[in-house]
Structure 1
Amino acid sequence: MNQTYLLEWLDLLVTFTLNPSKTDVNEITTVQSKAIIEKTIEQTVFIQSQFKIKVFSLNKEKQIKIIVGNYHSSLIIFLDNVIERSHNVAFERFDLKQVMKALILCFDELLSFIETRFSDYLSLDMRVPATYLVVSKKKLKKKIDKLKNNSTSTINDEKVTVILFDSLYSFVNSKANEKVTFRQVLYRKQLVKELELLRVPEREDIVGSTLIEVLIYMNFNSRTFINYFTKSVADQINCCENAAGKMEKLLFYFKEFNQIHSKDGVILNPHHQDLKTVLSDWFKHEMMYLEKRLHFSVIPLVNVDKKRNETPIIANTNDKVLCKLSTDQTALLLRASDELKILIAKSMNHIFKTIVPFLSTPNKVHLSYDSMRSKSYVAEERDKKIVIETLERMIKQIKEY
């Protein structure tokens, strides 16, 4: 059974029967075209069934990886050949066009089958062939359009929906010559599939949103989504009038967050930290911050008493110091300065509250000290790199004094 080549009929069809350089395709009759289409549909079902039997009959993971990789590569080659040939004048006849269309659907379905069932055995970091990428993006875009037009896709929070669809459309509309890996394509396919299964939720909590649960489950570690999520949770916590209430609500949201499962082996941005890790760290740091405020009985927490806890506003922008680093990068510097005791104050919050009002960035004049403090716990690799390079330039400058 293991030696059987399941793609034999399709291989012969693409390599010889429908190859204008080896066969006069005009000799194919309308009846034959219809028979080919019917056989193609049968083969699509047959190959999936037999492929599962073939794979599960193997005992060694290395053998499974080889056979899955070989079939996946072969299907992509066939798909590329069929798409390229479909533009040939030899296939302008209506019945032959239908044959090519049936083959494209067949190969696309078989590829989706392998990528969904046996993704663990594929080399996901390999670059996707251009033709296959075009087909995948086109198919994805149709599904995304349908999701967006479906009222259930805008459940609960419009801003989350905007963040999600901006990310999806950014991928399907990206330049053709941009390097894309199988991991990136497969992630979007899996994400869209999860979104198609969404149901309108009964509750409206930020952590209880079904859409947000899906994004956390799918490790949607978009920086925009992370910032939105943390700000939404912080805004709801700040609705409480006392510190004990804030802590109780924060613990509740943290418990709800921890109960959301995450799917193994999937991630939106492979070069960034896992979403669960980033958000867990944020929750923990926020709890530490509240605990310190409660312990030392400092002034009421964020926005409890606006007059007593209001951030100083420097009206004259000329009195501000322009910092060429971004808000996130400045936040990292201040956090590191506090933890290394380079800047010493009664709390890290006090450092941000004292310094930030006197700073501005090229993109923003008035900065929120509390927002900057929260962002210091969500460090992006690019921001860390820029801060490190900046510090290295400062070291070099100091050495020249």
Structure 2
Amino acid sequence: MFGTNDNDYSSSYSLELQDKLLLAVVSIRTKTAKIIRQDLFSTLLASARKEIGEKVLDLEKQATGYPHSRPVIDLVLRKLQEFATGEEEELTPDVMKITYHLELVSRLERFNWENHQLGLFPPLDELLVYLNFNSKSYTTLLQQWLKKRVLRAESLNLKLHELNLIYTNFLQLHRKPDVQFNDEDPDVTTIMVQWFEHERQFIENEIKIFQLEHEHSVPGTGKIKWKLSSDQLAIFVRACFDCGIIEAKSMSAVYQFIIPHISTKHRDDLSPSAVRTSAYNPEQVDKDGLKSKLQSMMKWIDGY
């Protein structure tokens, strides 16, 4: 898409406009700034807007049947039409603003609207990244489209893999130096790199949370693993019932409901009746061990 004649976009326009553009460029090169006389700028701007407006109408027809990037196409053509119909006073005498729009239109004229093959990025997005089309509306559309692609992956790990794949591909896209659509906003690469890093951090955090939530469950059972012995667990459940933390018709019902969903370090399957029975004749070592755990828990609570 980006060949050796990278700057030969002026040939797409009339000889009259080419002459005015050449005069403006020569004028710029004789000064230290990219500012030219207002009258020369006004003449160039009027001619550029007229021809861009005519070409945008043709582009709208050419792009009608293109099935990809529809919101992006509509946005770009709308931005070009706004430039073509805008008021002259809205722009400072900056020739680079004009040449940017001239090049964008010229490249869109050469765009292969019949090519419907897609890589990781549609050809239109590759062009807009190349020309640093840093419109906020465009980068928002690009982020939304990429997020939909990432979310199609079934698992968090696959989502992260897809995001990293797209991120790597984005960094490898071609970029033309020293051009941008909007001088006041960051370039497309800066905006998108920040977005990629944010999304990657978010998914990585989700993976960590998922791993922590499943760290203490017994694989294949769906049970929660407690770091208490079965005897300590029996005392704990009885104490919760006796002091009113757990409300139930009977203590037996509490054990029947809770114990099947719990495993300990040494046992995956616990009998509700056996655990309940051990609660009535607890060993002192088990009571002391449980109290030590509860005291540790109280320190955590005090720190909240």
Does residue 275 (structure 1) correspond to residue 188 (structure 2)? The answer is yes
> Which residue in the other structure is 1:306 paired with?
none
Q: Which of 93, 99, 117 lines up with 1:203 in the alignment?
A: 117
Question: Residues 202-241 of structure 1: matches in 2 within 5 Å?
Answer: 202-204=116-118, 207-241=120-154
Equivalents in 1 of 2:69, 2:84: separation in Å?
23
Q: Which of 80, 91, 95 lines up with 1:168 in the alignment?
A: 80
Q: Which of 31, 43, 50 lines up with 1:131 in the alignment?
A: 43
CA offset at residue 166 of structure 1? Answer: 1.1
CA offset at residue 299 of structure 1? Answer: 9.6
Equivalents in 1 of 2:24, 2:68: separation in Å?
31
Q: Which amino acid aligns with 1:251?
A: N
For the residue of structure 1 that corresponds to 2:102, the secondary structure is: helix
> Which residue in the other structure is 2:233 paired with?
none
> Which residue in the other structure is 2:176 paired with?
263
Equivalents in 2 of 1:154, 1:241: separation in Å?
30
Q: Which of 203, 209, 218 lines up with 1:296 in the alignment?
A: 209
Equivalents in 1 of 2:29, 2:170: separation in Å?
27
> Which residue in the other structure is 2:18 paired with?
109
For the residue of structure 2 that corresponds to 1:177, the secondary structure is: helix
> Against the structure 1 CA distance between its residues 197 and 117, is the aligned structure 2 distance closer, same or farther, given a 3 Å change threshold?
farther
Question: Residues 3-152 of structure 1: matches in 2 within 5 Å?
Answer: 106-113=15-22, 123-126=33-36, 129-151=41-63
> Against the structure 1 CA distance between its residues 172 and 282, is the aligned structure 2 distance closer, same or farther, given a 3 Å change threshold?
same
CA offset at residue 132 of structure 1? Answer: 2.4
Equivalents in 2 of 1:125, 1:228: separation in Å?
33
What is the TM-score with the length of structure 1 in the denominator?
0.44
Does residue 190 (structure 1) correspond to residue 103 (structure 2)? The answer is yes
Q: Which runs of 5+ in 2 are unaligned?
A: 1-13, 214-304
Equivalents in 1 of 2:129, 2:45: separation in Å?
26
Alpha-carbon deviations, 1:10-56, whole Å to 9, x = none? xxxxxxxxxxxxxxxxxxxxxxxxxxxxxxxxxxxxxxxxxxxxxxx
CA offset at residue 178 of structure 1? Answer: 2.4
Q: Percent identity?
A: 20
Equivalents in 1 of 2:173, 2:29: separation in Å?
23
CA offset at residue 176 of structure 1? Answer: 3.3
Instruction: State the number of aligned residues.
Output: 196
Aligned 8 A contact 1:125 1:183 in 2 = no
Equivalents in 1 of 2:51, 2:103: separation in Å?
13
Q: Which runs of 5+ in 1 are unaligned?
A: 1-104, 301-401
Equivalents in 2 of 1:204, 1:274: separation in Å?
24
> Against the structure 1 CA distance between its residues 161 and 112, is the aligned structure 2 distance closer, same or farther, given a 3 Å change threshold?
same
CA offset at residue 109 of structure 1? Answer: 2.1
> Against the structure 1 CA distance between its residues 282 and 299, is the aligned structure 2 distance closer, same or farther, given a 3 Å change threshold?
farther
Aligned 8 A contact 1:115 1:186 in 2 = no
Aligned 8 A contact 1:152 1:198 in 2 = no
For the residue of structure 1 that corresponds to 2:59, the secondary structure is: helix
Question: Residues 317-336 of structure 1: matches in 2 within 5 Å?
Answer: none
For the residue of structure 1 that corresponds to 2:173, the secondary structure is: coil
Q: Which amino acid aligns with 2:102?
A: K
Equivalents in 2 of 1:144, 1:124: separation in Å?
27
> Against the structure 1 CA distance between its residues 183 and 153, is the aligned structure 2 distance closer, same or farther, given a 3 Å change threshold?
farther
Aligned 8 A contact 2:130 2:174 in 1 = yes
Alpha-carbon deviations, 1:63-105, whole Å to 9, x = none? xxxxxxxxxxxxxxxxxxxxxxxxxxxxxxxxxxxxxxxxxx5
CA offset at residue 185 of structure 1? Answer: 0.6
Which gives a bigger RCO, structure 1 or 2 (Cα 8 Å, sep 6+)? Answer: 2
Alpha-carbon deviations, 1:213-266, whole Å to 9, x = none? 100100000111111100111111111121011011101111221111111111
> Against the structure 1 CA distance between its residues 217 and 116, is the aligned structure 2 distance closer, same or farther, given a 3 Å change threshold?
farther
Q: Which of 131, 155, 161 lines up with 1:248 in the alignment?
A: 161
Q: Which amino acid aligns with 2:18?
A: E
For the residue of structure 1 that corresponds to 2:88, the secondary structure is: coil
CA offset at residue 173 of structure 1? Answer: 0.9
